[in-house]
Structure 1
Amino acid sequence: MKSTDKPGELGTILGKGAVVDGNIKVEHSLRVDGKVVGDVTSGDTLIVGAEGEIKGNVKVKNLVLGGRINGSVLSPGRTVLEARSELRGELKTGKLVIDEGAIFDGKCSMSDAKAETGRTPGEADGETIIK
């Protein structure tokens, strides 16, 4: 994994071929090009590359999906489903962009997701945070 100190820049990368069996929680941006079987929480943007896959719930500020997610997604900022991406599950987001060719199979609610949870995604809830 790679870490940077500049806000808004990519902080952690899970590379192609890497597999994580467990939850991931980071304060900064995260890119997943491998596979995660577990929940993913980020205080910033999550980018799932074309070959990336997440089987679990996702709580992030913003989401750019190029690969696959099977689980519930809470993204109070902006969610982008790129062409050839797949999202199967419930989505709660502030803004939604779906490119032609993307697959979305589930329920979508567009609202102020922070108001629903009472906290910003990624806010501490007793789990270990990678800095």
Structure 2
Amino acid sequence: MFSEKKKNKMVENTPHQNIIAQGTKFVGDLSSAGDFRIDGTVEGNIKTSGKIVVGKEGFLKGTLQGTDAYFEGKFSGKLTLSGTLTLKASAYIEGEVIAGKLAVEPGATFNVTCVMKGTVKEMNNGGKRKPETEKTA
């Protein structure tokens, strides 16, 4: 029904989600272009250009590099995101965080050193221009 070329093209365009199910423990390094959902335990390093979701029972110990992350579970280590880190009330995060944006619900535990690496917005001085300084000789 499908030619081999069409099959491969369909697979390339399909978004992939990697799942570590509850009750599963993975030790090692993971790398993927797709999203991750972690409901089990991961000890190691994860690198992805996709989104990372850590469910309520999920635990990640190590380093995480990605775009966006959504935590309901636990994290311990170094987290580097180019996008948004979202923490639900049940989240427990400790270690080092570098993120573009941060969204935290009341009740979340956030014991980290944190650096925000977003775009810097120029503050508007109430619509007034900053006065130019005069130079005298």
TM range (shorter): 0.7 to 0.9
The residue aligned with 2:117 is 111
* Cα deviations by residue, 1:74-117 (Å, 9 ceiling, x for unpaired): 0110110111101101111011000111001011111149xxxx
Corresponding residue number in structure 2 for 1:117: none
User: SS at the partner of 1:16?
Assistant: coil
SS of the residue corresponding to residue 100 of structure 1 reads coil
User: Please, which runs of 5 or more residues in structure 2 have no aligned partner?
Assistant: 1-10, 120-137
Q: Name the SS for the 1:31 alignment partner.
A: strand
Q: Which moved more, 1:31-40 or 1:104-113?
A: 104-113
RMSD: 1.9
Q: Does 1:65 align with 2:98?
A: no
Distance in 2 (CA, whole Å) between partners of 1:82 and 1:103 is 9
Once the two structures are superposed, what CA deviation does each residue of 1:33-90 show, in whole Å capped at 9, x if it has no partner?
Answer: 0000111111110000000001101101100011000001001101101111011011
- Look up the match of 2:33: 27
Partner of residue 18 from structure 2, selected from 12, 15, 21: 12
Identity, % of aligned pairs?
28
Quote the residue 1:121 is aligned against: none
Q: TM (normalized to structure 2)?
A: 0.74
Give me the TM-score of the superposition, normalised by structure 1. 0.78
- The answer to which of 10-19 and 51-60 deviates more is 10-19
Which 4+ stretches in 1 moved above 3 angstroms? Answer: none
Offset of residue 5 of structure 1: 5.0
Unmatched segments (≥5 aa) in structure 1? 114-131
Higher RCO (Cα < 8 Å, 6 or more apart): 1
Rg larger in structure: 2
Query: What is the aligned partner in structure 1 of residue 129 from structure 2?
Result: none
Of 90, 99, 110 in structure 2, the residue corresponding to residue 93 of structure 1 is 99
Q: Is the 8 A contact 1:5 1:11 kept in 2?
A: no
Q: Which structure's residues are more often strand, by fraction?
A: 2
Aligned pair count reads 109
1:6 Cα shift? 2.5
